[in-house]
């Protein structure tokens, strides 16, 4: 977790690796909420999580959310370039919209949003290839690696994509580019401050 101030604007960046496997979405939701509630960056206890204390918040990493469909279904959809059908089975998107259905509670996911995904699932590949998992487990291709931000008109997504040519991992890296509004009308920390309050790295 990295937090800092630009002028009068407080920014927080959080990276995490949540529980694996398709049937662990509820555990992932609980972990995400615990991360926000117990963050060492948190100073106030009268709010639902540390993200409430900062103006601009990004939450990213291997969130391990999966596509709820069979391997055969997803392979057929990807072959036909039907990403929309894969996205309809994505575990995370309904939670961001506040629609838990019957599978998992929403937790704090609805406080965040994500840019439109227009790239193939980033997991799981055979290393050094473009082939999805060919092992006995044949894991279902999924968008496990995500970049979210706290809902905020001061953040605008400019680009959201993966890097298919980086094949040294069973994941494909994901990147995002954002335009972030900040208030630079700031005179600096109080003269009486004994130590810097500008940047904290955990």
pLDDT in tens, 144-182: 999 999 999 999 999 999 999 999 999 999 999 999 999
Prediction pTM value: 0.89
- Neighbouring CB atoms inside 10 A of 191's CB total 5
132/138 Cα distance (integer angstroms): 8
Mean confidence (pLDDT) of the chain: 91
pLDDT at 36: 95
pLDDT at 103: 55
pLDDT in tens, 82-92: 999 999 999 99
Q: Which residues of 158-174 are buried (b: 16+ CB within 10 A; e: fewer)?
A: eebebeeeeeeebbbeb
pLDDT at 134: 97
pLDDT in tens, 64-77: 999 999 999 999 99
Per-residue pLDDT band for 44 (boundaries 50, 70, 90) equals confident
Per-residue pLDDT band for 189 (boundaries 50, 70, 90) equals low
- Per residue, the 3-state secondary structure of 61-123, as one string, reads EECCCCECCCHHHHHHHHHCCCHHHHHHCECHHHHHCCCCCCCCCCCCHHHEECCCCCCCCCE
133/37 Cα distance (integer angstroms): 35
pLDDT at 202: 45
């Amino acid at each position: 977790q990295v937090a800092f101030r630009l002028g009068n604007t407080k920014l927080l960046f959080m990276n995490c690796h949540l529980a694996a496997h398709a049937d662990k979405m509820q555990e992932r939701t609980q972990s995400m909420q615990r991360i926000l509630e117990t963050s060492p960056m948190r100073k106030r206890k009268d709010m639902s999580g540390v993200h409430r204390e900062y103006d601009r918040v990004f939450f990213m990493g291997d969130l391990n959310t999966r596509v709820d469909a069979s391997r055969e279904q997803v392979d057929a959809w990807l072959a036909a370039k039907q990403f929309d059908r894969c996205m309809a089975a994505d575990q995370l998107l309904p939670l961001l919209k506040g629609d838990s259905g019957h599978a998992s509670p929403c937790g704090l996911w609805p406080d965040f949003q994500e840019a439109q995904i227009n790239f193939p699932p980033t997991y799981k590949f055979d290393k050094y290839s473009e082939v999805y998992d060919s092992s006995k487990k044949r894991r279902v291709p999924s968008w496990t690696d995500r970049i979210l931000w706290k809902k905020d008109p001061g953040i605008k997504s400019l680009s959201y994509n993966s890097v298919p040519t980086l094949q040294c991992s069973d994941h494909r890296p994901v990147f995002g580019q954002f335009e972030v509004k900040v208030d630079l009308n700031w005179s600096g920390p109080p003269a009486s401050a004994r130590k810097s309050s500008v940047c904290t790295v955990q």
